[in-house]
Amino acid sequence: MKPIRICLVGAGRAAKVHAASLTRHLPAGRLVAIVDPHAETLQATADEFGVEQRFATLEEALDHVELDAVVITTPTFTHAALAVTAARAGKHIFLEKPMALTLEECDAIARVAAENHVFLQLGFMRRFDPDFSAAFERIQAGEIGQPLMVKSLTHGPGLPPPWARDLKTSNGNLAEVNSHDWDCIRWLMGSNPRRVYAEVANLKGSARGVTTEHFYDHALVTVRFENGTLGNISSICPCDYGYDARVEIIGEKGIMQIGELKGQAVVVCTDRDHGLVTPIFRTWPQRFAWGYIREMEHFLHAIQTDTPPKVGAEDGRWAVASVLAATRSFLEERPVLLSEVMA
């Protein structure tokens, strides 16, 4: 079968993860071009992965290279325009989360993709992580009975890039860091969120020179689902102890925990007063290494077999709607129904 010819749009942090999957792990895909208006970033990433065709805009790449698909790894505020351009050119789209800034943008992306008969897969790699996907299958098989309550956390190290600190360009950490939690709790609980209440705090920003309006680095959200069950999401970024992503689900018959703090199966003891030492995950590419490879494998397989990817526009739209409701909740200091932002 002919390899799927891919253009990576955006050459930053997420781009490198997908470039590594495509060039080192997945012969079904061929990374043939990279686009980034920032010349130094473009050169560094293209050099690292040996990609010759380099462009400052997606339009130039579409004009000069034969492509089957694009992988969009740019800041959130650029997603809608780039995805619509790619869809109009008839290219399948792998789109990093969050799908877009607004529901209007989500709808435009979904509509143009459907009109042009191209697939759209969202970058929710947790659905392809071996632990998360096994947990989903075991919930479906009824091992813990009907899920009643979910607690999901993502705590990430390092200040997010400037565009990701600003509500206007990213919708803030609840989108940038916790889109995965929003998607996972809805997927694992088998119900859409109905109402959310968010508290946020800026506990580290000023000490680290962040002056962006409405910046927050800690958040807790309480969620009520349409089926009456409950959940919460915990968000910290920057988190100084490492990368931490875990979920606990309590069902009618039992409890399920997904993920752990321990980043290696190596335990060291050199001092009985300090006890056992085992490293935590340092970064998201390390924690979800298999999820990133398997989600891209799924995208290539979807194109090759002409089968729609299993995570798409509707999932992306629900995550964006949840973020918009939670953002309105902390700005207006009240619980917000999803129907208020989806109307």
Ligand X SMILES: NC(=O)c1ccc[n+]([C@@H]2O[C@H](COP(=O)([O-])OP(=O)(O)OC[C@H]3O[C@@H](n4cnc5c(N)ncnc54)[C@H](O)[C@@H]3O)[C@@H](O)[C@H]2O)c1
Residue ranges in contact with ligand X by CB under 6 A: 9-15, 35-38, 41, 58, 73-76, 78, 82, 96-97, 123, 125, 161, 176, 284
Question: Least Å distance between CB 193 and ligand X?
Answer: 20
Minimum distance from residue 18 beta carbon to ligand X (Å): 9
Nearest distance from residue 125's CB to ligand X, in Å?
Answer: 5
- Give whichever of 71 and 144 is closer to ligand X, judged by the CB atom: 71
CA separation for the pair 305, 291 (Å, rounded): 21
Minimum distance between the CB of residue 154 and ligand X, rounded to whole angstroms? Answer: 9
Task: Name the residue with the smallest CB distance to ligand X.
Answer: 12
Specify the residue, 10 or 147, whose C-beta has the smaller distance to ligand X.
Answer: 10
142 vs 158, which CB is nearer to ligand X? 158
Minimum distance, C-beta of residue 288 to ligand X, in the bound complex (Å): 6
Rounded distance, CA 58 to CA 10, Å?
Answer: 9
Distance CA 304, CA 176 (A): 30
Q: Report, in Å, the least distance between residue 263 CB and ligand X.
A: 16
If the CB atoms of residues 96 and 131 are measured against ligand X, the closer one turns out to be 96
CB 196 within 8 A of CB 222: yes
What one-letter code names the amino acid at 310? K
206: left (phi over 0), alpha (psi -120 to 50) or beta: alpha
Sign of CA dihedral 43, 48, 53, 58: negative
Q: Residue 327: CA atoms inside 13 Å, Cβ hemisphere, count?
A: 23
Say what the alpha-carbon torsion angle 166, 220, 290, 24 is, to the nearest 10 degrees.
Answer: 10
Query: What's the number of CA atoms in the CB half-sphere (13 Å) around residue 132?
Result: 27
Nearer Cβ to ligand X (11/319): 11
Check if the beta carbon of residue 31 is closer than 8 Å to that of residue 305.
no
Residue 71 or 223 having the CB closest to ligand X: 71
